[in-house]
Amino acid sequence: MSLLDGLNSRQREAAETIDGPLLILAGAGSGKTRTIIHRIAHIIETGQAWPSQILAITFTNKAAGEMRDRIAKMNIQDSKRIWMSTFHAMCARIMRTHAQWLGYDDNFVIYDMDDQKRLYKSLIKELGLNDKYFTNQFLSGEVSTAKNNFVSPEAYMKENSGDFRKEKVGLYYKRYQESLKANNAMDFDDLIYNTLVLFKGFPEILEQYQNRFKYIMVDEYQDTNHSQYELVNMLAAKYKNICVCGDDDQSIYGWRGADINNILDFEKDYANAKVVKLEENYRSTQTILDCANGVIARNTGRKEKALWTNNDGDEKIMIASFNQGYDEARFIVDEINDNITKGQGIFGDFAILYRTNAQSRLFEEALMRAGLPFQLIGGTGFYSRVEIKDVIAYLNVLSNPKDNMGFMRIVNVPKRGIGSATIEKIAEYANFKSFSLMQAFHHVEEIPELSPSVKNKVRAFSELMKKLEVIQATASLSELITAVIEKTGYLEMLETGKMDKGESRLENLQELVSSATDFEKNSDDQSLSAYLETVALSSETDKYDGDQGKVLLMTLHNAKGLEFPIVFIPGLEEGIFPHGRAMDSPEDIEEERRICYVGITRAMKRLYISWAAERTLYGRRQLQTPSRFLKEMPDEVCVENKQRYERKPEIDIETKKNKTFSERVTQSKVAIRRNNANAVNLQNNPSESGFVLTDKVKHKKFGIGTVVEVKNNMISVAFPGVGIKKMDPTFVEKE
Ligand code: ATP
Ligand code: MG
């Protein structure tokens, strides 16, 4: 049997076109990913390249893992040697070998959002910037955009000279990069940015990689940003054997700098590019495709595509509406139960896909109440838990003693009486000596201003870390983690109830030890830095295992590239989906529509779409109007579900009973227009107040809340459990 047997003729043509640039431009579920996998197998089996000469880039670790599994099942020799990973993992690997060329040590650590925030706090102080005006969200967004566009701090400052605010941003950006380097740390964007710096600065290193990768493939190419685009082109410059595939209709990362033109312009970039279009969809029913096609057809400036399928099934899309968001959740859970009772699927066949993480709570609660097994992807993931991050920070400092942010996290956790005044004094000394904080601690005897009792505490911590270094030299990973948990006093802190939720935190730490044991078993490189890299790069999506037999809950963004027999998309309401922030820009609405298209096309057999007329949002009750996307779904493929969940609305809303769906939608059109007009009125220019509706903010006294109104330079914020407070924007900080 040939490796290409499982492909249709066009897919096969793509898989057999090995040399030269190739673009596979095709709609959802048409077998792009499958074609890439078979293409790789074909290249190796026909002896055109060694596995190590192939580079395949995908968007999530999950997708990369899946590709690896599928290739492994095809019994391709040495398939482990194929470079199959995300952009970030690929660049981390390159950096591990070449970071010294840029002045980093090769044991650099990768900073996440949390570390970034700590760095932000210290820099904002150092630069004397107003943190109400220069919020973390604003500054890190600017820095990230600059890096995604390969704009250096110097170039940024030059570009923006004369613009007072941006000049400050430039200064911040410069200091931010310097501090990262001093900590021997890179953030996520740096992995890609620095790889580009390396390749541009040292052509001989680029050449090594160009020679190595004879064949390059990129899946989900529509979501590459400028830096990623440049990186791919540089690597492919020698052989020009580059195959990219994607779907312009599924470009949903514009907010992260992805540029849809990268795929649309491929034929311009490579004049002799061959283009293969796939139109047969193997995933969904025709009804589901008609629904998706109907919605996406409203977007302008797209490449026309007609998706069709031979798949059986003509079940209509169920559109369900409810009085309350709570009823919607109940309905979904009942429906899952019904389906299962009737033998139509197992738990793992169902996915609930929503627009924002905040929507998951209602479903989690309803599923829990009903006792159904479910798995939540995203949200506060395993590696973002406090106890896990603490222990990882210990490991980071052991691996890279220059990591001051990690150091700050652990120096007084568990409490050892080392306060901020002490740390400030030691930091001054560290600055003076060009030491890291850890090094300065090891030199505590030389610091004159410290009292003997403080010195004792500092010395104890220094000795603890030295002891762990000794253990690290010989112990396995899991032994080292166990030693950290025990010797630092962390275990005792949890056992003696000095930290809340001690028992479950302990369980999580046990889980961390077992995951390290797995890592030891499965990984070629068992070094501490390899482990820390894997942890830093693993996102929650990676832990999704389709075979687990649990209902899946995730955002539409996380569902990209995946498929499920039965899909629910709840919350089709103006302000939720499309998202409130997208309301006043036609381009943003088009991106929302693409997200909707991605969602619909995840479904294989059955699709439910729903909305509620009223829900508690951001701590207050709100009347909702159905999403404009509902009206874009062709009537003939949808059926409306009778409202089975009627609870008396607690506030006076127009009853929607006894109206047909289309009547209701017509009525909603007016409401949507009214709502949009309101939204425009309410949303001041963000540059004046600095806030827009739905922004999350933090107030010293009331905690975290959501902006529900922006008017006359004042904002109203809904704080859960407190109520709505109107205030001057300077009283809050962006979350
Ligand atoms: P997306 O745009 O969502 O990423 P895709 O174009 O990458 O989708 P795949 O995930 O590769 O599509 O394929 C969709 C489904 O169709 C998969 O289950 C795949 O195995 C199946 N499939 C694709 N091509 C064929 C084929 N020729 N014969 C049988 N099944 C196929
Ligand atoms: Mg795919």
Q: In angstroms, what is the span from residue 283 Cα to ligand 1's centroid?
A: 6
Q: Confidence class of residue 69 from pLDDT cuts 50, 70 and 90?
A: confident
Tokens of 186: 């890179």
Most distant pair of Cα atoms in the chain: their distance? 82
Q: Whose CA is nearest to atom 16 of ligand 1?
A: 282
Q: Confidence class of residue 543 from pLDDT cuts 50, 70 and 90?
A: low
250 is catalytic: yes
Least Cα distance to 731 among 138, 169, 172, 130 occurs for 130
Measured from the alpha carbon of residue 30, the closest ligand is 1
For helices 528-537 and 87-98, give the axis angle rounded to 10 degrees. 150
Q: Write down the pLDDT at residue 540.
A: 53
In angstroms, the CA 723 to CA 82 distance is 55
70 is catalytic: no
Using the predicted structure, report yes or no on whether residue 138 has a pLDDT greater than 70.
yes
Report ipTM (2 d.p.).
Answer: 0.99
Q: Confidence class of residue 648 from pLDDT cuts 50, 70 and 90?
A: very low
Q: In angstroms, what is the span from residue 248 Cα to ligand 2's centroid?
A: 13
Task: Convert the pLDDT of each residue in 186-244 to its tens digit.
Answer: 999 999 999 999 999 999 999 999 999 999 999 999 999 999 999 999 999 999 999 99
Of the listed 187, 190, 219, 709, which one is catalytic?
219
**Nearest atom, ligand 1, residue 280 CA:** 24
More confident residue, 506 or 172: 172
Q: Confidence class of residue 558 from pLDDT cuts 50, 70 and 90?
A: confident
Q: In angstroms, what is the span from residue 30 Cα to ligand 1's centroid?
A: 5
728 is catalytic: no
Measured from the alpha carbon of residue 251, the closest ligand is 1
Using the predicted structure, report yes or no on whether residue 506 has a pLDDT greater than 90.
no
Residue of 12, 25, 283 to test ligand 1 pocket, by largest number of atoms within 8 Å of CB: 283
Average pLDDT value for the chain:
87
How many percent of the chain have pLDDT more than 70?
Answer: 90
Q: Write down the pLDDT at residue 620.
A: 67
In angstroms, the CA 221 to CA 202 distance is 26
Task: Convert the pLDDT of each residue in 420-445 to its tens digit.
Answer: 999 999 999 999 999 999 999 999 99
Q: Confidence class of residue 520 from pLDDT cuts 50, 70 and 90?
A: confident
Q: Write down the pLDDT at residue 1.
A: 53
- Residue 85 one-letter amino acid: S
- What is this structure's pTM? 0.79
Mean pLDDT throughout 467-479? 95
Q: Write down the pLDDT at residue 395.
A: 97
Mean pLDDT throughout 638-651? 56
Q: Write down the pLDDT at residue 106.
A: 86
Pocket of ligand 1 (CB under 6 A): 6-8, 11, 26, 28-34, 247, 250, 282-283, 561, 563
220 is catalytic: yes
- Token match 């600055």: residue? 431
| Cis bond before residue 586 (omega within 30° of 0) | no
Q: Confidence class of residue 619 from pLDDT cuts 50, 70 and 90?
A: low
More confident residue, 729 or 120: 120
Any idea which of 16-25, 176-185, 351-360 has the lowest mean pLDDT? 351-360
Q: Write down the pLDDT at residue 674.
A: 40
What is the per-residue DSSP string for 670-733? Answer: HHHHHHHHHHHHH---HHHHS--TT-EEEETTTEEEEEEEEETTEEEEEETTTEEEEE-GGGEE
Mean pLDDT throughout 80-92? 93
Q: Write down the pLDDT at residue 664.
A: 43
- The C-alpha angle with vertex 553 and arms to 540 and 622, in degrees rounded to 5, equals 115
33 is catalytic: yes
Using the predicted structure, report yes or no on whether residue 641 has a pLDDT greater than 90.
no
- Which residues are known binding-site members for ATP? 26-33
Mean pLDDT throughout 520-544? 79
Q: Whose CA is nearest to atom 14 of ligand 1?
A: 29
543 is catalytic: no
Q: Whose CA is nearest to atom 11 of ligand 1?
A: 31
Q: Write down the pLDDT at residue 379.
A: 61
**Nearest atom, ligand 1, residue 27 CA:** 2
